[in-house]
Amino acid sequence: MTKLQATANHFGTDVTAGIEAEPDGVITLAPHLAALWELAAPFLDVRNNDAHTLYAFGLASALLDAHPEADAAVVLPAIMLHDIGWSQVPPSEVLAAIAPGGGRPDLVLLHEKEGARLGAELLGKSGYDAAKIPAILAIIDGHDSRREALSIEDAIVKDADKTWRLSPHGIDTVMDWFGLDRGQALRLCSQRVHGHLFTDEAKAMARALSALESVTAWPQRQQLLKAGPSAGQNAGTTSGGDDGRASI
């Protein structure tokens, strides 16, 4: 569970007046895309695809910042709708489709085709710019099975989708898909992501995420987690043990 509220204020003073409302890098969801999300979400309620989609959308937004030549009006709806086709695959077969050691390529293709079909319906219903729709659907249809990227927009969608696996939410999710401990999930996701990305920015993001998760698995880090907050921290310093409140 992501920590959303402080459990202490070691400094003792309110510092919130110095926090900007919209600093660089903090992203929001534009109203027309929030409306598209409302249409898509019922089709994403399987295998954590809803939260996966939101986090992958966030990564795609960050990649767009690095690629101003890419058309955000294609990338953002494509990443939001890319997995809606899983809703048309029997839930009992969804994980078999992507399991290590084989998988079901037929079901992967099915979710891509169904995703493009449903995507056309939802984009039409939302009144989306018709000129953008063919490119959006072309990305959805083949987003997993196609080895090459059709365009920079396709590359960004593919990279955001894959890089999510190494995010904290991605590792949490993959652990429970296959009954893996955190280290096993990290190794599985690392072998499936590194070497399969298109943009330099996603490659750097993915290596950073793998590195952070690697450190979490180190005995040195585990020992600090087990120890809980250090005496020094309780006395007002910011070094030592970490219960989520370590120095930044």
Number of residues that bind Fe ion (CB under 5 A): 3
Backbone angles phi, psi at 109, to 5 degrees: -65, -40
Nearer to Fe ion by C-beta: 109 or 217?
109
Q: Which residues, numbered 16-55, are part of the site for Fe ion (CB under 5 A)?
A: none
Nearer to Fe ion by C-beta: 154 or 161?
161
Contact 8, 245 (CB under 8 A): yes
Least separation in angstroms between CB 39 and Fe ion: 17
Stretch that binds Fe ion, among 22-30, 33-41, 80-88, 232-240 (CB under 5 A): 80-88
Least separation in angstroms between CB 81 and Fe ion: 10
Spatial neighbors of 167 by CB under 8 A, at least 6 apart, are: 55, 59, 209
Which of 40, 55, 75, 83 binds Fe ion (CB under 5 A)? It is 83
Tell which residue, 100, 88, 65, has the closest CA to residue 178: 100
Distances (CA, A) of 194 to 197, 204, 206: 7, 10, 7
Stretch that binds Fe ion, among 60-68, 153-161, 181-189, 191-199 (CB under 5 A): 153-161
* Contact track, Fe ion, 157-176, x by CB under 5 A: ----x---------------
Spatial neighbors of 175 by CB under 8 A, at least 6 apart, are: 181, 182, 184, 185
Cα separation, 80 vs 150, in Å, equals 18
Cα separation, 58 vs 61, in Å, equals 5
Cα separation, 126 vs 80, in Å, equals 13
Which of 114, 144, 159, 201 binds Fe ion (CB under 5 A)? It is 144
Nearer to Fe ion by C-beta: 48 or 184?
48
Residue 154 found at the interface with Fe ion (CB under 5 A): no
Nearer to Fe ion by C-beta: 144 or 213?
144
Least separation in angstroms between CB 22 and Fe ion: 28
Burial of residue 80 (CB within 10 Å: 0-12, 13-18, 19+) is buried
Residue 199: count of CB within 10 angstroms of its CB: 20
Stretch that binds Fe ion, among 15-23, 33-41, 62-70, 83-91 (CB under 5 A): 83-91
Stretch that binds Fe ion, among 81-89, 132-140, 195-203, 239-247 (CB under 5 A): 81-89
Stretch that binds Fe ion, among 92-100, 142-150, 192-200, 209-217 (CB under 5 A): 142-150
Tell which residue, 129, 49, 60, 57, has the closest CA to residue 84: 49
Applying CB under 5 A, the residues found at the interface with Fe ion are 83, 144, 161
